[in-house]
Each structure stands twice: as structure tokens, then as C-alpha cells.
């Protein structure tokens, strides 16, 4: 297994004020550490990411477990692109559990990237890279196709408009290899949610399914460029087989819930 760095101590105090960097205003996130968990925030009322200090690779927020459901449709991806680093929960998990997969992470806020060591995000290497840049621009002209796209981009105001537009979802479809899978994290209670969901459906010719996270404040939309998304396509054992025992135990209940959700949708 990949060794994990020692957690650095954090200075006291919190900051969540806009700061100009690279000619653009970015909000500085702040970090809260209670000795057991470390969390990333843009505001006191919104949690962006949480990490168990003793198991920094584990998934601690419910929607991240749901988002890993892409493995049900693409159990052995060779390449993943992700928009939105945050505290790096999904990036760390994929890096640890999918050692044969190349992963590129796009994050436009340099202050978020600056915290990567505080959240034990691995250093860049031959199969993992964090890039400072605009995720929408990246999807518009990717250097290569991807087997999986993970869209989890938020700022202090919520979902950036550029990551919810019809052209962006069209670009996501084009950036996927045949059989590739898109997983998008959306705020389920946002008044724009139905519009965003419809745009994904349109870009993928209706081949998409909505799976609310367990706490239902987030909803993950899975879409596929290829075979129709259906519970008949899913092989639960194959989706978990490549993971270590700890990850299988953590994901198996959520994967079973996702399959049942898809079955219910398939029957309606």
C-alpha cells in the first residue's frame, strides 16, 4: 500500500475571505481540526470535505460513497479525470484503491491546492496529477479520452454555472471513451437541480440515472457513453473485487443500495 505522510500541525485561526490570485478572485477555505477529524469549509454552515486523521484514505462524507458507484458501471477504469479537488477524499481513495489507473484532478482555486498536504493528498507522480486550471475549459479540449469523469466542483457560492451548463455536459460526453461513465455531484435541494439533471439527460441521450445520497442533500447523477445504465448491467462482486478488504466493507452496503435504487427506477 502507498505510505501516507505525517499530518502537519495547523496554525490557529480561520480564514474565508476572497483573495486575488492569478488575476482572479478566489475564496480562501478554512480548516477545522478537532483532533479526530479534519474538515474543509468555505463557510461555517457548509462542509466541503472531511478526513479521519487516523485513516486519511477513508471516505467520511456520505455522498462520496455514492459517487464511487461509478465502479458498478466501470469496475476497472484505466483513466479518470476529476473536476474539484476539495479535501481530496475521492482522489486519495481512487489513488489507493485503483493502482493501475491514471488520474488527473482539475482545481481552479490555488488556495485549495495549497492545502493538499494538510489533507494528505498524494504528491504528483506518473499516475496522479493535480492541475490548477478551469475544469470547463479542460473538458472542452481534453488531451485524451477518459474512462470515468467525476464532477464535484463547488465554490463558496455553490455550483459554478460553468460546470452545470449544457455545453459543459456535452463536452463531458465527448471527453469519455466508449463505455465511459460520468458521475456528477449536485445539490439536490437547489432550485436549479431539475434544470441541471435535464441537461445531463439531454447530453447523454437519456442514458443517465439519479441516485440521492443517503442524507439526500446531495444527488449523484450517473451517465454513460455506451450501454444503457441498468441493474442488469451491474456485477456487484466484480465492482468490489479489486479493492482491499477495508474498502470493500465500506462500499458494499452503499453499492447494494445503489443497485436497489436503480432497480426501483427500472421498474417505474
Residue 170's nearest CA partner among 218, 212, 223, 220 is: 223
| Phi/psi at 30 (5° precision) | -125, 160
Return d(Cα 91, Cα 68) in angstroms, integer: 11
| Long-range own/partner contacts, residues 105-109 (CB < 8 A, 24 or more apart) | 105/81, 105/129, 105/130, 105/131, 106/81, 106/82, 106/131, 106/133, 106/134, 106/135, 106/138, 107/131, 107/132, 107/133, 108/26, 108/132, 108/133, 108/134, 108/135, 109/26, 109/27, 109/29, 109/155
Contact 255, 215 (CB under 8 A): no
Quickly tell me which residue has 486519495 as its cell: 92
The kind and range of the H/E element at 97 are: helix 89-97
Q: What are the Cα distances from residue 154, in Å, to 79, 133, 252?
A: 23, 14, 27
The sheet with strand 46-52 has its strands ordered as: 30-33, 37-43, 46-52
Active site positions, annotated:
152
How is residue 170 annotated by DSSP? H
| Phi/psi at 235 (5° precision) | -120, 100
Residue 65's nearest CA partner among 211, 207, 174 is: 211
Amino acid at each position: 500500500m502507498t505510505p501516507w505522510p505525517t499530518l502537519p500541525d495547523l496554525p490557529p485561526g480561520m480564514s474565508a475571505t476572497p483573495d486575488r490570485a492569478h488575476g482572479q478572485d478566489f475564496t480562501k477555505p478554512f480548516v477545522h481540526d478537532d483532533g479526530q477529524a479534519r474538515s474543509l469549509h468555505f463557510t461555517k454552515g457548509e462542509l466541503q470535505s472531511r478526513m479521519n486523521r487516523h485513516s486519511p484514505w477513508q471516505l467520511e462524507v456520505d455522498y462520496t460513497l455514492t459517487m464511487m458507484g461509478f465502479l458498478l458501471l466501470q469496475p476497472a477504469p484505466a483513466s479518470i479525470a476529476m473536476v474539484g479537488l476539495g479535501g481530496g477524499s475521492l482522489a486519495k481513495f481512487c489513488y489507493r484503491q485503483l493502482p493501475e489507473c491514471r488520474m488527473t484532478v482539475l482545481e481552479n482555486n490555488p488556495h485549495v491546492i495549497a492545502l493538499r498536504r494538510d489533507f494528505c493528498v498524494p504528491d504528483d507522480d506518473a499516475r496522479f496529477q493535480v492541475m490548477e486550471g478551469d475544469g470547463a475549459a479542460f473538458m472542452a479540449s481534453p488531451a485524451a479520452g477518459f474512462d470515468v469523469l467525476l464532477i464535484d466542483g463547488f465554490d463558496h457560492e455553490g455550483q459554478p454555472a460553468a460546470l452545470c451548463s449544457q455545453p459543459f455536459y456535452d463536452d463531458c460526453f465527448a471527453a469519455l471513451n466508449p463505455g465511459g461513465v460520468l458521475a456528477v455531484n449536485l445539490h439536490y435541494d437547489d432550485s436549479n437541480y431539475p434544470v441541471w439533471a435535464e441537461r445531463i439527460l439531454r447530453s447523454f441521450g437519456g442514458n443517465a440515472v439519479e441516485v440521492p445520497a443517503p442524507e439526500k442533500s446531495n444527488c449523484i447523477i450517473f451517465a454513460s457513453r455506451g450501454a444503457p445504465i441498468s441493474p442488469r448491467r451491474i456485477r456487484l462482486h466484480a465492482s468490489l473485487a479489486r479493492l482491499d478488504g477495508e474498502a470493500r466493507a465500506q462500499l458494499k452496503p452503499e453499492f447494494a443500495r445503489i443497485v436497489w435504487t436503480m432497480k426501483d427506477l427500472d421498474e417505474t
